[in-house]
Structure 1
């Protein structure tokens, strides 16, 4: 029987871009380029490695987001994933992590799965709680923050590295796991992979397909909200110290004044 692996990925704003809030205090995605979250690339990579080691496996990538989020799916498909699912609906605008976990859970259930793989966090929200929320909604075990992962029979096994010790963990399938940026460098899509990705199936779903009411998601259905936002002040010119024999003392005085020493 084929091992069904689902990878949850996110289309995020480029961290090097000039990110701003829109009038409704959600991220203004129209003013910055987006891409597949770097931390989710590790999840795709580990899913592909598990699939390569299995007798038979299929890797499906799932994302929730606007039309441009298909770019994140295409990147994952060009890396080697077999198919993709894109959940897009205007009523999803402003959905927080609670609502997103609901949508992903419904999409994963509809797709069918044995193992769900997530990154350790998104590079925009950086909450890191979605894998746990997803496992709760699916009613399956979670094994999170793994730096090493494998599937052996009906078990998923992995290693979680902490500051003072490493833990060896395992759970019965089906399960949800998340992997860290120490799990292994993600492969770079080849030209052949990029061309092949154009022919791979991408299924489009909306809230009606998932039987989710609009008031459960979006800004109105969010459990969290941004009350206010202040633009970061422009960077000012730093203090230049000309070293004419007293530079070290001036530097020490500056550090002491700023309470760095």
Structure 2
């Protein structure tokens, strides 16, 4: 059994956000982190590995420096990694990205007992589309918003979160599951032995030449130019002004607030 974990390196939104003239994010000038929801997917895959000794393969699409992120996840306990990287794939929207990742998994092989784990959504796009689209392109069942995953002999039991509770779903493999952040899923740290060994573990790079013949890829709908959807405008939100703390008794503060609102012609 093998679990593919799809991850994404995203900008650290707590720091500087830079935008290119074409509306895309200037990722090279921003600090990068592993997408938070993907961390939950990684942890749930490693928990299953702890009990079943299955193979965990982490997959990402991105530039060459994303190798560092993949090595970190291997140091946490993943067995190997796949980096999908090519200029032809740059700027892909969710439709293009999902077909490229689906083609890569199809090329690597998806067995009858295999699973694909993804984070619910990425913090740089917030679409929650890539995981479900991968499942559709591979023709396998999917379960979203998973906060718990357990494997029985022949089925996967998923705790799927809802707004007012949760449901328990049984799904057959192969399948795709998208995971959410949950207090019961605390991602593990890299281990010392994992750090020492992570650069000796396999990391496969799949470029455009390796995937262009895959039947799941439509060559005219990949990359920035071929993506069906394009970013109209990206910008850094304006900084908010500094707040004012009013002093005095309740009546004095209310009177002060009313005077300020009258001065600004709000009332």
Q: TM over 0.5, yes or no?
A: yes
Alignment counterpart, residue 220 of structure 1, candidates 225, 243, 264: 225
- Could you tell me the TM-score, scaled by structure 1's length? 0.90
**What residue in structure 1 maps to residue 265 of structure 2?**
none
- Could you tell me the TM-score, scaled by structure 2's length? 0.88
* Contact 1:159 1:169 survives alignment (8 Å): yes
**Inter-partner Cα distance in structure 2 for 1:195 and 1:244:** 62
**What residue in structure 2 maps to residue 125 of structure 1?**
125
Q: Deviations along 1:209-260, whole A, 9 cap, x unmatched?
A: 1124653211111121122234422332323423256454258759x99xxx
Pair 1:188 & 2:167 matched: no
* Contact 1:7 1:44 survives alignment (8 Å): yes
Deviates more, 1:103-112 or 1:229-238: 229-238
Q: Which runs of 4+ in 1 moved over 6 A?
A: none
SS at structure 1 position matched to 2:210: coil
**What residue in structure 2 maps to residue 200 of structure 1?**
201
* Contact 1:36 1:75 survives alignment (8 Å): no
In 2 relative to 1, CA 138–253 (structure 1 residues): closer, same or farther, beyond 3 Å? farther
**Inter-partner Cα distance in structure 2 for 1:161 and 1:239:** 40
Q: Deviations along 1:156-183, whole A, 9 cap, x unmatched?
A: 1111122323211011110001111115
**Inter-partner Cα distance in structure 2 for 1:22 and 1:72:** 23
**Inter-partner Cα distance in structure 1 for 2:248 and 2:28:** 47
**What residue in structure 2 maps to residue 167 of structure 1?**
167
* Contact 2:144 2:179 survives alignment (8 Å): yes
SS at structure 1 position matched to 2:208: coil
Shift of 1:85: 0.3
In 2 relative to 1, CA 229–37 (structure 1 residues): closer, same or farther, beyond 3 Å? closer
In 2 relative to 1, CA 229–161 (structure 1 residues): closer, same or farther, beyond 3 Å? closer
* Contact 2:11 2:31 survives alignment (8 Å): yes
In 2 relative to 1, CA 246–188 (structure 1 residues): closer, same or farther, beyond 3 Å? same
**What residue in structure 2 maps to residue 77 of structure 1?**
74
Shift of 1:92: 1.5
**Inter-partner Cα distance in structure 1 for 2:249 and 2:47:** 59
Shift of 1:21: 1.2
**What residue in structure 2 maps to residue 107 of structure 1?**
104
Structure 2 gaps of 5+ residues are: 263-267
SS at structure 1 position matched to 2:15: coil
Q: How many residues align?
A: 254
RMSD between superposed Cα atoms in Å: 2.2
Pair 1:61 & 2:62 matched: no
